[in-house]
A and B are shown apart, each in its own frame.
Chain A
Protein backbone atom coordinates (compact mmCIF):
# COMPACT_ATOMS: atom_id res chain seq x y z
CA UNK A 1 0.00 0.00 0.00
CA UNK A 2 2.94 2.36 0.46
CA UNK A 3 3.10 3.04 -3.26
CA UNK A 4 -0.47 4.31 -3.17
CA UNK A 5 -0.54 8.08 -3.56
CA UNK A 6 -2.55 8.83 -0.45
CA UNK A 7 -1.46 5.82 1.56
CA UNK A 8 1.19 7.65 3.53
CA UNK A 9 -1.05 10.39 4.95
CA UNK A 10 0.72 13.05 2.95
CA UNK A 11 -1.06 15.83 1.12
CA UNK A 12 -0.10 18.55 -1.34
CA UNK A 13 -0.36 22.29 -0.90
CA UNK A 14 -3.27 22.23 -3.32
CA UNK A 15 -5.24 20.28 -0.75
CA UNK A 16 -4.45 22.97 1.80
CA UNK A 17 -5.95 25.47 -0.61
CA UNK A 18 -9.13 23.40 -0.70
CA UNK A 19 -9.16 22.75 3.04
CA UNK A 20 -9.29 26.45 3.89
CA UNK A 21 -12.65 27.25 2.22
CA UNK A 22 -14.01 23.89 3.35
CA UNK A 23 -13.19 24.81 6.93
CA UNK A 24 -14.23 28.46 6.82
CA UNK A 25 -17.58 28.04 5.06
CA UNK A 26 -19.93 26.74 7.73
CA UNK A 27 -23.09 27.76 9.55
CA UNK A 28 -22.02 31.40 9.44
CA UNK A 29 -22.76 31.56 5.72
CA UNK A 30 -26.47 31.20 6.47
CA UNK A 31 -26.62 34.10 8.93
CA UNK A 32 -23.83 36.59 8.23
CA UNK A 33 -25.82 38.83 5.81
CA UNK A 34 -28.22 39.60 8.66
CA UNK A 35 -25.48 40.80 11.02
CA UNK A 36 -23.85 42.91 8.34
CA UNK A 37 -27.09 44.43 7.07
CA UNK A 38 -27.88 45.56 10.60
CA UNK A 39 -24.72 47.62 10.76
CA UNK A 40 -24.24 49.03 7.28
CA UNK A 41 -26.28 51.05 4.78
CA UNK A 42 -27.64 49.41 1.61
CA UNK A 43 -24.97 47.24 0.01
CA UNK A 44 -22.02 48.75 1.87
CA UNK A 45 -21.46 45.54 3.82
CA UNK A 46 -19.27 44.20 1.03
CA UNK A 47 -16.56 46.60 2.14
CA UNK A 48 -16.61 45.04 5.59
CA UNK A 49 -16.44 41.59 4.03
CA UNK A 50 -13.43 42.58 1.93
CA UNK A 51 -11.59 44.30 4.78
CA UNK A 52 -12.33 41.41 7.14
CA UNK A 53 -11.31 39.06 4.36
CA UNK A 54 -8.01 40.84 3.81
CA UNK A 55 -7.21 40.54 7.51
CA UNK A 56 -8.12 36.86 7.32
CA UNK A 57 -5.97 36.34 4.21
CA UNK A 58 -3.05 38.03 5.96
CA UNK A 59 -3.41 35.84 9.03
CA UNK A 60 -3.79 32.74 6.84
CA UNK A 61 -0.60 33.58 5.03
CA UNK A 62 1.24 34.30 8.28
CA UNK A 63 0.13 31.05 9.91
CA UNK A 64 0.98 29.03 6.82
CA UNK A 65 4.35 30.77 6.55
CA UNK A 66 5.30 29.97 10.13
CA UNK A 67 4.15 26.37 9.84
CA UNK A 68 5.82 25.82 6.48
CA UNK A 69 9.19 26.83 7.94
CA UNK A 70 9.10 23.53 9.76
CA UNK A 71 8.20 21.00 7.10
CA UNK A 72 7.01 17.62 8.36
CA UNK A 73 7.12 18.73 11.99
CA UNK A 74 4.04 18.63 14.17
CA UNK A 75 2.76 21.80 15.79
CA UNK A 76 3.87 20.53 19.19
CA UNK A 77 7.40 19.95 18.05
CA UNK A 78 8.03 23.27 16.32
CA UNK A 79 6.15 25.22 18.97
CA UNK A 80 8.43 23.51 21.53
CA UNK A 81 11.46 24.58 19.54
CA UNK A 82 10.32 28.19 19.37
CA UNK A 83 8.61 28.63 22.75
CA UNK A 84 9.42 26.08 25.42
CA UNK A 85 7.70 22.68 25.60
CA UNK A 86 5.28 23.58 28.46
CA UNK A 87 4.04 26.58 26.48
CA UNK A 88 3.64 24.36 23.42
CA UNK A 89 1.62 21.81 25.40
CA UNK A 90 -0.65 24.51 26.81
CA UNK A 91 -1.21 25.93 23.31
CA UNK A 92 -1.95 22.47 21.94
CA UNK A 93 -4.46 21.88 24.73
CA UNK A 94 -6.17 25.13 23.77
CA UNK A 95 -6.46 23.85 20.21
CA UNK A 96 -8.02 20.63 21.50
CA UNK A 97 -10.62 22.64 23.40
CA UNK A 98 -11.17 24.94 20.42
CA UNK A 99 -11.67 21.93 18.13
CA UNK A 100 -14.19 20.39 20.51
CA UNK A 101 -16.09 23.67 20.83
CA UNK A 102 -16.28 24.26 17.09
CA UNK A 103 -17.49 20.70 16.52
CA UNK A 104 -20.11 21.02 19.24
CA UNK A 105 -21.32 24.36 17.91
CA UNK A 106 -21.61 23.18 14.32
CA UNK A 107 -23.43 20.01 15.38
CA UNK A 108 -25.89 21.95 17.45
CA UNK A 109 -26.42 24.67 14.83
CA UNK A 110 -27.08 22.25 11.99
CA UNK A 111 -29.37 20.27 14.29
CA UNK A 112 -31.46 23.30 15.11
CA UNK A 113 -31.67 24.48 11.53
CA UNK A 114 -32.59 21.11 10.09
CA UNK A 115 -35.06 20.61 12.90
CA UNK A 116 -36.75 23.84 11.97
CA UNK A 117 -36.78 23.38 8.22
CA UNK A 118 -36.58 19.65 7.55
CA UNK A 119 -37.53 17.41 10.46
CA UNK A 120 -40.19 18.97 12.62
CA UNK A 121 -41.04 15.83 14.54
CA UNK A 122 -37.69 14.10 14.93
CA UNK A 123 -36.15 14.83 18.35
CA UNK A 124 -33.20 17.22 18.06
CA UNK A 125 -30.94 14.85 20.01
CA UNK A 126 -31.43 12.14 17.39
CA UNK A 127 -30.64 14.51 14.53
CA UNK A 128 -27.56 15.78 16.33
CA UNK A 129 -26.38 12.31 17.26
CA UNK A 130 -26.80 11.02 13.72
CA UNK A 131 -24.85 13.93 12.31
CA UNK A 132 -22.13 13.50 14.91
CA UNK A 133 -21.87 9.77 14.18
CA UNK A 134 -21.26 10.47 10.51
CA UNK A 135 -18.62 13.03 11.46
CA UNK A 136 -16.97 10.50 13.77
CA UNK A 137 -16.99 7.99 10.96
CA UNK A 138 -15.26 10.46 8.64
CA UNK A 139 -12.62 11.33 11.24
CA UNK A 140 -11.92 7.67 12.07
CA UNK A 141 -10.61 7.02 8.59
CA UNK A 142 -7.38 8.28 7.11
CA UNK A 143 -6.69 11.97 7.23
CA UNK A 144 -5.89 12.01 3.53
CA UNK A 145 -9.38 10.64 2.93
CA UNK A 146 -10.83 13.67 4.68
CA UNK A 147 -8.91 15.93 2.31
CA UNK A 148 -10.17 14.02 -0.68
CA UNK A 149 -13.69 14.45 0.65
CA UNK A 150 -13.07 18.21 0.77
CA UNK A 151 -11.82 18.20 -2.78
CA UNK A 152 -14.97 16.38 -3.84
CA UNK A 153 -17.43 18.57 -1.92
CA UNK A 154 -15.99 22.04 -2.47
CA UNK A 155 -16.64 22.31 -6.22
CA UNK A 156 -20.22 21.18 -5.62
CA UNK A 157 -20.64 23.82 -2.91
CA UNK A 158 -19.24 26.56 -5.13
CA UNK A 159 -21.26 25.45 -8.14
CA UNK A 160 -24.59 25.36 -6.31
CA UNK A 161 -23.89 28.71 -4.69
CA UNK A 162 -23.31 30.11 -8.16
CA UNK A 163 -26.54 28.47 -9.32
CA UNK A 164 -28.42 30.05 -6.42
CA UNK A 165 -27.08 33.48 -7.36
CA UNK A 166 -27.99 33.01 -11.03
CA UNK A 167 -31.55 31.99 -10.23
CA UNK A 168 -31.84 34.96 -7.88
CA UNK A 169 -31.16 37.44 -10.69
CA UNK A 170 -34.84 37.49 -11.64
CA UNK A 171 -35.75 38.59 -8.11
CA UNK A 172 -33.05 41.22 -7.72
CA UNK A 173 -33.87 44.90 -7.54
CA UNK A 174 -31.06 47.24 -8.42
CA UNK A 175 -32.59 49.97 -6.27
CA UNK A 176 -31.85 47.89 -3.16
CA UNK A 177 -28.12 48.18 -3.78
CA UNK A 178 -28.03 51.98 -3.83
CA UNK A 179 -26.88 54.32 -2.34
CA UNK A 180 -23.22 53.37 -2.26
CA UNK A 181 -20.73 54.30 0.47
CA UNK A 182 -23.04 55.98 2.94
CA UNK A 183 -22.05 54.00 6.02
CA UNK A 184 -20.13 55.91 8.67
CA UNK A 185 -16.77 54.79 9.99
CA UNK A 186 -18.33 53.28 13.11
CA UNK A 187 -20.59 51.09 10.98
CA UNK A 188 -17.67 49.93 8.85
CA UNK A 189 -15.62 49.07 11.92
CA UNK A 190 -18.39 47.11 13.57
CA UNK A 191 -19.24 45.46 10.28
CA UNK A 192 -15.63 44.39 9.80
CA UNK A 193 -15.56 42.99 13.34
CA UNK A 194 -18.71 41.02 12.60
CA UNK A 195 -17.54 39.80 9.24
CA UNK A 196 -14.28 38.48 10.67
CA UNK A 197 -16.40 36.12 12.76
CA UNK A 198 -17.31 34.36 9.55
CA UNK A 199 -13.66 33.67 8.85
CA UNK A 200 -12.99 31.36 11.80
CA UNK A 201 -10.87 28.25 11.46
CA UNK A 202 -7.51 29.47 10.20
CA UNK A 203 -5.84 27.64 13.10
CA UNK A 204 -6.13 24.30 11.27
CA UNK A 205 -3.13 25.36 9.21
CA UNK A 206 -0.79 25.05 12.20
CA UNK A 207 -1.56 21.34 12.16
CA UNK A 208 -2.32 20.44 8.58
CA UNK A 209 0.74 22.07 7.00
CA UNK A 210 2.85 19.42 8.77
CA UNK A 211 1.18 16.86 6.50
CA UNK A 212 2.23 18.68 3.35
CA UNK A 213 5.15 17.02 1.64
CA UNK A 214 6.64 20.13 0.16
CA UNK A 215 5.08 23.14 1.92
CA UNK A 216 6.93 25.85 0.01
CA UNK A 217 3.86 26.88 -1.92
CA UNK A 218 1.48 26.32 0.99
CA UNK A 219 1.29 29.95 2.24
CA UNK A 220 0.29 31.43 -1.10
CA UNK A 221 -2.08 28.54 -1.84
CA UNK A 222 -3.76 28.89 1.57
CA UNK A 223 -4.10 32.64 1.10
CA UNK A 224 -5.66 32.00 -2.31
CA UNK A 225 -8.11 29.57 -0.72
CA UNK A 226 -9.12 32.28 1.73
CA UNK A 227 -9.50 34.66 -1.20
CA UNK A 228 -12.09 32.29 -2.67
CA UNK A 229 -14.08 32.50 0.55
CA UNK A 230 -14.03 36.30 0.40
CA UNK A 231 -15.37 36.20 -3.16
CA UNK A 232 -18.15 33.76 -2.24
CA UNK A 233 -19.16 35.81 0.80
CA UNK A 234 -19.25 39.08 -1.15
CA UNK A 235 -21.35 37.52 -3.90
CA UNK A 236 -23.81 36.03 -1.43
CA UNK A 237 -24.07 39.26 0.50
CA UNK A 238 -24.76 41.40 -2.55
CA UNK A 239 -27.34 38.88 -3.76
CA UNK A 240 -29.30 38.85 -0.50
CA UNK A 241 -29.27 42.65 -0.32
CA UNK A 242 -30.36 42.97 -3.95
CA UNK A 243 -33.22 40.51 -3.46
CA UNK A 244 -34.51 41.44 0.00
CA UNK A 245 -33.27 44.98 0.61
CA UNK A 246 -31.16 45.91 3.62
CA UNK A 247 -33.90 46.22 6.24
CA UNK A 248 -35.55 42.93 5.38
CA UNK A 249 -32.17 41.17 5.29
CA UNK A 250 -31.46 42.50 8.76
CA UNK A 251 -34.74 40.98 9.92
CA UNK A 252 -34.50 37.53 8.38
CA UNK A 253 -32.93 34.90 10.62
CA UNK A 254 -31.28 32.87 7.85
CA UNK A 255 -31.07 35.12 4.79
CA UNK A 256 -29.43 32.45 2.65
CA UNK A 257 -32.11 29.85 3.41
CA UNK A 258 -34.77 32.45 2.71
CA UNK A 259 -33.06 33.19 -0.59
CA UNK A 260 -33.22 29.54 -1.59
CA UNK A 261 -36.92 29.56 -0.72
CA UNK A 262 -37.53 32.69 -2.77
CA UNK A 263 -36.11 31.53 -6.05
CA UNK A 264 -38.12 29.55 -8.53
CA UNK A 265 -36.81 27.85 -11.59
CA UNK A 266 -38.70 29.13 -14.62
CA UNK A 267 -41.21 26.63 -15.88
CA UNK A 268 -43.07 26.04 -12.65
CA UNK A 269 -42.01 22.42 -12.42
CA UNK A 270 -39.39 22.78 -9.68
CA UNK A 271 -40.95 25.26 -7.33
CA UNK A 272 -39.21 24.25 -4.17
CA UNK A 273 -35.44 24.05 -4.31
CA UNK A 274 -34.36 24.62 -0.75
CA UNK A 275 -34.08 20.92 0.00
CA UNK A 276 -31.38 20.66 -2.66
CA UNK A 277 -29.56 23.64 -1.24
CA UNK A 278 -29.88 22.17 2.22
CA UNK A 279 -27.96 19.11 1.08
CA UNK A 280 -25.16 21.35 -0.11
CA UNK A 281 -24.98 23.43 3.05
CA UNK A 282 -25.02 20.35 5.20
CA UNK A 283 -22.07 19.11 3.12
CA UNK A 284 -20.24 22.40 3.75
CA UNK A 285 -20.97 22.24 7.47
CA UNK A 286 -20.02 18.57 7.53
CA UNK A 287 -16.52 19.22 6.18
CA UNK A 288 -16.03 21.98 8.77
CA UNK A 289 -17.22 19.80 11.61
CA UNK A 290 -15.11 16.83 10.55
CA UNK A 291 -11.98 18.94 10.26
CA UNK A 292 -12.59 20.64 13.60
CA UNK A 293 -12.93 17.29 15.33
CA UNK A 294 -9.94 15.98 13.44
CA UNK A 295 -7.81 18.89 14.68
CA UNK A 296 -8.84 18.15 18.26
CA UNK A 297 -7.89 14.49 17.75
CA UNK A 298 -4.64 15.38 16.01
CA UNK A 299 -3.64 17.87 18.70
CA UNK A 300 -4.42 15.41 21.48
CA UNK A 301 -2.58 12.69 19.63
CA UNK A 302 0.53 14.85 19.42
CA UNK A 303 0.57 15.20 23.21
CA UNK A 304 -0.01 11.45 23.68
CA UNK A 305 1.74 9.92 20.71
CA UNK A 306 1.16 6.38 21.93
CA UNK A 307 -2.59 6.68 22.28
CA UNK A 308 -4.77 4.99 19.70
CA UNK A 309 -6.51 7.49 17.40
CA UNK A 310 -9.83 5.66 17.62
CA UNK A 311 -9.72 5.70 21.42
CA UNK A 312 -9.21 9.47 21.37
CA UNK A 313 -12.16 9.87 19.04
CA UNK A 314 -14.41 7.76 21.22
CA UNK A 315 -13.27 9.76 24.23
CA UNK A 316 -13.94 13.12 22.57
CA UNK A 317 -17.24 12.49 20.84
CA UNK A 318 -19.36 12.09 24.01
CA UNK A 319 -17.87 15.35 25.28
CA UNK A 320 -18.75 17.03 21.99
CA UNK A 321 -22.29 15.69 22.12
CA UNK A 322 -22.71 16.79 25.72
CA UNK A 323 -21.52 20.34 24.96
CA UNK A 324 -23.72 20.50 21.88
CA UNK A 325 -26.91 19.95 23.89
CA UNK A 326 -25.97 22.54 26.53
CA UNK A 327 -27.30 25.74 24.89
CA UNK A 328 -30.91 26.24 25.93
CA UNK A 329 -32.31 28.28 23.07
CA UNK A 330 -31.37 30.25 19.96
CA UNK A 331 -30.01 33.12 22.08
CA UNK A 332 -27.60 30.84 23.91
CA UNK A 333 -26.55 29.27 20.65
CA UNK A 334 -25.81 32.68 19.08
CA UNK A 335 -23.69 33.69 22.06
CA UNK A 336 -21.95 30.32 21.96
CA UNK A 337 -21.16 30.80 18.26
CA UNK A 338 -19.78 34.32 18.74
CA UNK A 339 -17.70 33.11 21.66
CA UNK A 340 -16.27 30.21 19.64
CA UNK A 341 -15.39 32.57 16.77
CA UNK A 342 -13.78 35.24 18.95
CA UNK A 343 -11.71 32.75 20.89
CA UNK A 344 -10.73 31.11 17.61
CA UNK A 345 -9.41 34.42 16.30
CA UNK A 346 -7.78 35.20 19.63
CA UNK A 347 -6.06 31.82 19.83
CA UNK A 348 -4.88 31.72 16.22
CA UNK A 349 -3.82 35.37 16.29
CA UNK A 350 -1.91 35.02 19.55
CA UNK A 351 -0.19 31.83 18.44
CA UNK A 352 0.74 33.32 15.08
CA UNK A 353 2.16 36.52 16.57
CA UNK A 354 3.96 34.70 19.41
CA UNK A 355 5.55 32.09 17.17
CA UNK A 356 6.24 34.64 14.45
CA UNK A 357 8.16 36.94 16.80
CA UNK A 358 10.04 34.02 18.39
CA UNK A 359 10.94 32.70 14.95
CA UNK A 360 12.32 36.08 13.93
CA UNK A 361 14.29 36.43 17.17
CA UNK A 362 15.72 32.90 17.05
CA UNK A 363 16.45 33.22 13.35
CA UNK A 364 18.31 36.46 13.98
CA UNK A 365 20.32 34.76 16.71
CA UNK A 366 21.20 31.94 14.39
CA UNK A 367 22.31 34.32 11.71
CA UNK A 368 24.26 36.28 14.30
CA UNK A 369 26.34 33.25 15.25
Chain B
Protein backbone atom coordinates (compact mmCIF):
# COMPACT_ATOMS: atom_id res chain seq x y z
CA UNK B 1 0.00 0.00 0.00
CA UNK B 2 2.79 2.35 0.95
CA UNK B 3 4.64 1.34 -2.23
CA UNK B 4 1.53 2.15 -4.27
CA UNK B 5 1.19 5.52 -2.53
CA UNK B 6 4.81 6.42 -3.19
CA UNK B 7 4.58 5.44 -6.84
CA UNK B 8 1.43 7.52 -7.19
CA UNK B 9 3.07 10.57 -5.65
CA UNK B 10 6.12 10.16 -7.90
CA UNK B 11 3.80 9.80 -10.87
CA UNK B 12 2.05 13.06 -10.00
CA UNK B 13 5.36 14.95 -9.88
CA UNK B 14 6.52 13.44 -13.18
CA UNK B 15 3.08 14.04 -14.63
CA UNK B 16 3.26 17.75 -13.87
CA UNK B 17 6.62 18.04 -15.67
CA UNK B 18 5.26 16.09 -18.62
CA UNK B 19 2.23 18.39 -18.61
CA UNK B 20 4.50 21.42 -18.98
CA UNK B 21 6.19 19.85 -22.03
CA UNK B 22 2.79 18.92 -23.45
CA UNK B 23 1.56 22.48 -22.88
CA UNK B 24 4.50 23.77 -24.90
CA UNK B 25 3.70 21.41 -27.76
CA UNK B 26 0.00 22.26 -27.65
CA UNK B 27 0.60 26.03 -27.71
CA UNK B 28 2.48 25.72 -30.99
CA UNK B 29 0.26 23.06 -32.51
CA UNK B 30 -2.89 25.10 -31.92
CA UNK B 31 -1.46 28.12 -33.68
CA UNK B 32 0.52 26.58 -36.52
CA UNK B 33 -0.34 22.85 -36.85
CA UNK B 34 3.31 22.05 -36.21
CA UNK B 35 4.65 19.72 -33.52
CA UNK B 36 7.94 21.22 -32.42
CA UNK B 37 10.18 18.16 -32.06
CA UNK B 38 13.09 20.50 -31.23
CA UNK B 39 11.40 21.76 -28.07
CA UNK B 40 13.27 19.38 -25.77
CA UNK B 41 16.61 20.16 -27.38
CA UNK B 42 15.97 23.90 -27.16
CA UNK B 43 15.26 23.52 -23.45
CA UNK B 44 18.40 21.39 -23.09
CA UNK B 45 20.55 24.17 -24.60
CA UNK B 46 18.98 26.70 -22.27
CA UNK B 47 19.61 24.45 -19.29
CA UNK B 48 23.31 24.31 -20.19
CA UNK B 49 23.29 28.10 -20.21
CA UNK B 50 21.65 28.09 -16.78
CA UNK B 51 24.34 25.66 -15.65
CA UNK B 52 27.01 28.07 -16.86
CA UNK B 53 25.33 30.98 -15.05
CA UNK B 54 25.12 28.85 -11.91
CA UNK B 55 28.84 28.12 -12.06
CA UNK B 56 29.63 31.80 -12.42
CA UNK B 57 28.72 31.86 -8.75
CA UNK B 58 25.19 33.15 -9.12
CA UNK B 59 22.44 31.64 -7.06
CA UNK B 60 19.87 29.09 -8.20
CA UNK B 61 17.13 31.64 -8.74
CA UNK B 62 19.19 33.95 -10.94
CA UNK B 63 20.06 30.98 -13.15
CA UNK B 64 16.37 29.99 -13.12
CA UNK B 65 15.26 33.41 -14.36
CA UNK B 66 18.13 33.60 -16.86
CA UNK B 67 17.10 30.22 -18.30
CA UNK B 68 13.46 31.27 -18.69
CA UNK B 69 14.46 34.56 -20.34
CA UNK B 70 16.89 32.84 -22.71
CA UNK B 71 14.19 30.31 -23.49
CA UNK B 72 11.70 33.04 -24.46
CA UNK B 73 14.28 34.67 -26.72
CA UNK B 74 15.39 31.36 -28.21
CA UNK B 75 11.81 30.38 -29.04
CA UNK B 76 11.11 33.70 -30.73
CA UNK B 77 14.35 33.56 -32.71
CA UNK B 78 13.68 30.01 -33.86
CA UNK B 79 10.25 30.95 -35.10
CA UNK B 80 11.55 33.94 -37.05
CA UNK B 81 14.55 32.22 -38.63
CA UNK B 82 13.40 28.65 -39.20
CA UNK B 83 9.64 28.43 -39.06
CA UNK B 84 8.42 31.59 -40.75
CA UNK B 85 9.91 30.64 -44.15
CA UNK B 86 7.91 27.39 -43.98
CA UNK B 87 4.51 29.01 -43.70
CA UNK B 88 2.07 27.75 -46.31
CA UNK B 89 4.22 24.72 -47.10
CA UNK B 90 3.61 21.10 -46.31
CA UNK B 91 3.61 20.19 -42.60
CA UNK B 92 6.14 17.51 -43.55
CA UNK B 93 8.72 20.24 -44.17
CA UNK B 94 8.16 21.65 -40.70
CA UNK B 95 8.49 18.22 -39.08
CA UNK B 96 11.78 17.58 -40.89
CA UNK B 97 13.11 21.05 -40.02
CA UNK B 98 12.25 20.84 -36.31
CA UNK B 99 13.67 17.31 -36.13
CA UNK B 100 16.84 18.45 -37.93
CA UNK B 101 17.12 21.32 -35.48
CA UNK B 102 16.85 18.84 -32.59
CA UNK B 103 19.80 16.88 -33.96
CA UNK B 104 21.77 20.01 -34.73
CA UNK B 105 21.34 21.34 -31.20
CA UNK B 106 22.30 18.01 -29.61
CA UNK B 107 25.41 17.93 -31.79
CA UNK B 108 26.34 21.50 -30.90
CA UNK B 109 25.80 20.86 -27.18
CA UNK B 110 27.98 17.76 -27.41
CA UNK B 111 30.67 19.74 -29.23
CA UNK B 112 30.69 22.55 -26.64
CA UNK B 113 30.07 20.75 -23.38
CA UNK B 114 30.91 17.13 -24.18
CA UNK B 115 28.74 14.12 -23.49
CA UNK B 116 29.68 13.59 -19.84
CA UNK B 117 26.86 13.84 -17.31
CA UNK B 118 26.68 16.84 -15.01
CA UNK B 119 24.61 17.25 -11.89
CA UNK B 120 22.28 20.20 -11.57
CA UNK B 121 21.19 21.20 -8.06
CA UNK B 122 17.62 21.37 -6.82
CA UNK B 123 16.45 24.47 -4.92
CA UNK B 124 14.81 22.36 -2.19
CA UNK B 125 15.55 19.06 -0.53
CA UNK B 126 14.87 16.00 -2.65
CA UNK B 127 14.50 13.68 0.34
CA UNK B 128 11.10 12.19 1.12
CA UNK B 129 9.18 13.44 4.14
CA UNK B 130 7.90 11.74 7.23
CA UNK B 131 4.26 12.21 8.00
CA UNK B 132 3.45 10.69 11.34
CA UNK B 133 5.20 7.32 11.27
CA UNK B 134 5.19 6.68 7.54
CA UNK B 135 7.88 7.76 5.19
CA UNK B 136 6.38 9.13 1.96
CA UNK B 137 8.32 9.78 -1.24
CA UNK B 138 7.12 13.29 -1.75
CA UNK B 139 9.93 15.76 -1.22
CA UNK B 140 9.76 19.55 -0.83
CA UNK B 141 11.22 19.68 -4.35
CA UNK B 142 8.24 17.66 -5.64
CA UNK B 143 5.94 20.21 -4.00
CA UNK B 144 7.87 22.93 -5.81
CA UNK B 145 7.48 21.02 -9.13
CA UNK B 146 3.73 20.76 -8.72
CA UNK B 147 3.37 24.41 -7.67
CA UNK B 148 5.62 25.71 -10.46
CA UNK B 149 3.70 23.91 -13.20
CA UNK B 150 0.37 24.94 -11.64
CA UNK B 151 1.61 28.54 -11.62
CA UNK B 152 2.57 28.21 -15.29
CA UNK B 153 -0.87 26.84 -16.12
CA UNK B 154 -2.64 29.63 -14.22
CA UNK B 155 -0.49 32.29 -15.87
CA UNK B 156 -1.35 30.89 -19.29
CA UNK B 157 -5.02 30.70 -18.34
CA UNK B 158 -5.02 34.33 -17.23
CA UNK B 159 -3.15 35.36 -20.36
CA UNK B 160 -5.43 33.53 -22.79
CA UNK B 161 -8.78 34.02 -21.04
CA UNK B 162 -8.30 37.33 -19.27
CA UNK B 163 -6.30 39.66 -21.47
CA UNK B 164 -6.73 41.39 -24.79
CA UNK B 165 -3.42 39.99 -26.00
CA UNK B 166 -4.55 36.47 -25.19
CA UNK B 167 -7.81 36.97 -27.04
CA UNK B 168 -5.88 38.04 -30.10
CA UNK B 169 -3.57 35.06 -29.82
CA UNK B 170 -6.58 32.75 -29.64
CA UNK B 171 -8.06 34.45 -32.69
CA UNK B 172 -4.82 33.91 -34.60
CA UNK B 173 -4.73 30.26 -33.62
CA UNK B 174 -8.39 29.72 -34.51
CA UNK B 175 -8.63 31.58 -37.84
CA UNK B 176 -5.48 33.43 -38.88
CA UNK B 177 -6.89 34.79 -42.13
CA UNK B 178 -10.01 36.20 -40.51
CA UNK B 179 -7.98 37.59 -37.63
CA UNK B 180 -5.75 39.39 -40.09
CA UNK B 181 -8.77 40.87 -41.87
CA UNK B 182 -10.02 42.16 -38.55
CA UNK B 183 -6.77 44.01 -37.93
CA UNK B 184 -4.83 41.55 -35.76
CA UNK B 185 -1.12 41.49 -36.52
CA UNK B 186 -0.64 37.78 -36.99
CA UNK B 187 3.10 37.35 -37.36
CA UNK B 188 4.35 38.88 -34.09
CA UNK B 189 1.69 36.93 -32.22
CA UNK B 190 2.87 33.65 -33.73
CA UNK B 191 6.40 34.56 -32.64
CA UNK B 192 5.13 35.28 -29.12
CA UNK B 193 3.42 31.88 -29.09
CA UNK B 194 6.71 30.17 -29.89
CA UNK B 195 8.46 32.17 -27.18
CA UNK B 196 5.89 31.12 -24.56
CA UNK B 197 6.04 27.50 -25.70
CA UNK B 198 9.82 27.45 -25.44
CA UNK B 199 9.60 28.91 -21.94
CA UNK B 200 7.22 26.13 -20.90
CA UNK B 201 9.75 23.62 -22.23
CA UNK B 202 12.55 25.32 -20.28
CA UNK B 203 10.54 25.17 -17.08
CA UNK B 204 10.04 21.44 -17.61
CA UNK B 205 13.75 20.95 -18.25
CA UNK B 206 14.71 22.86 -15.10
CA UNK B 207 12.31 20.74 -13.08
CA UNK B 208 13.49 17.42 -14.50
CA UNK B 209 17.23 18.04 -14.56
CA UNK B 210 17.93 17.68 -10.80
CA UNK B 211 16.51 14.13 -10.78
CA UNK B 212 17.96 13.02 -14.12
CA UNK B 213 21.25 14.65 -15.04
CA UNK B 214 22.46 17.15 -17.58
CA UNK B 215 23.54 15.52 -20.88
CA UNK B 216 22.95 16.62 -24.48
CA UNK B 217 20.04 14.18 -24.86
CA UNK B 218 18.45 14.24 -21.41
CA UNK B 219 15.25 15.78 -22.80
CA UNK B 220 14.65 13.15 -25.54
CA UNK B 221 12.58 10.83 -23.41
CA UNK B 222 10.76 13.68 -21.64
CA UNK B 223 9.82 15.06 -25.06
CA UNK B 224 8.20 11.81 -26.16
CA UNK B 225 6.34 11.60 -22.84
CA UNK B 226 5.13 15.15 -23.49
CA UNK B 227 4.03 14.10 -26.95
CA UNK B 228 2.19 11.16 -25.41
CA UNK B 229 0.43 13.46 -22.97
CA UNK B 230 -0.48 15.91 -25.73
CA UNK B 231 -1.95 13.12 -27.87
CA UNK B 232 -3.89 11.63 -24.95
CA UNK B 233 -5.30 15.03 -24.01
CA UNK B 234 -5.87 16.20 -27.56
CA UNK B 235 -3.12 18.00 -29.44
CA UNK B 236 -4.87 21.36 -29.39
CA UNK B 237 -6.23 21.51 -25.84
CA UNK B 238 -4.27 23.16 -22.98
CA UNK B 239 -6.56 21.54 -20.38
CA UNK B 240 -5.94 18.27 -22.15
CA UNK B 241 -2.20 18.83 -21.73
CA UNK B 242 -2.60 19.00 -17.94
CA UNK B 243 -4.91 16.00 -17.68
CA UNK B 244 -2.95 14.05 -20.29
CA UNK B 245 0.27 14.88 -18.48
CA UNK B 246 -1.02 13.54 -15.17
CA UNK B 247 -2.47 10.45 -16.86
CA UNK B 248 0.81 9.78 -18.64
CA UNK B 249 2.90 10.40 -15.53
CA UNK B 250 0.79 8.07 -13.41
CA UNK B 251 0.62 5.30 -16.04
CA UNK B 252 4.36 5.39 -16.57
CA UNK B 253 4.98 5.40 -12.82
CA UNK B 254 2.85 2.26 -12.35
CA UNK B 255 4.51 0.51 -15.32
CA UNK B 256 7.94 1.50 -14.04
CA UNK B 257 7.15 0.54 -10.46
CA UNK B 258 5.52 -2.83 -11.06
CA UNK B 259 6.97 -4.05 -14.38
CA UNK B 260 10.37 -2.40 -14.79
CA UNK B 261 11.68 1.06 -15.58
CA UNK B 262 13.04 0.10 -19.01
CA UNK B 263 9.51 -0.52 -20.24
CA UNK B 264 8.37 3.09 -19.71
CA UNK B 265 9.08 4.42 -23.25
CA UNK B 266 7.27 1.48 -24.83
CA UNK B 267 4.43 1.87 -22.34
CA UNK B 268 4.11 5.47 -23.53
CA UNK B 269 3.87 4.22 -27.11
CA UNK B 270 1.21 1.71 -26.08
CA UNK B 271 -0.68 4.54 -24.35
CA UNK B 272 -0.66 6.57 -27.56
CA UNK B 273 -1.84 3.59 -29.61
CA UNK B 274 -4.65 2.75 -27.19
CA UNK B 275 -5.80 6.35 -26.87
CA UNK B 276 -5.81 6.82 -30.66
CA UNK B 277 -7.84 3.63 -31.00
CA UNK B 278 -10.41 4.61 -28.42
CA UNK B 279 -10.62 8.37 -28.79
CA UNK B 280 -8.66 9.58 -31.83
CA UNK B 281 -9.23 13.29 -31.24
CA UNK B 282 -7.93 13.12 -27.70
CA UNK B 283 -9.87 13.65 -24.48
CA UNK B 284 -10.36 17.40 -24.72
CA UNK B 285 -9.81 18.45 -28.33
CA UNK B 286 -12.50 20.28 -30.17
CA UNK B 287 -13.62 18.15 -33.11
CA UNK B 288 -11.95 19.47 -36.25
CA UNK B 289 -14.20 19.38 -39.28
CA UNK B 290 -12.33 19.04 -42.55
CA UNK B 291 -13.28 21.54 -45.18
CA UNK B 292 -12.94 20.83 -48.87
Q: Do A and B bind each other?
A: no
Residues of B bordering A, CB below 8 Å: none
Residues of A bordering B, CB below 8 Å: none
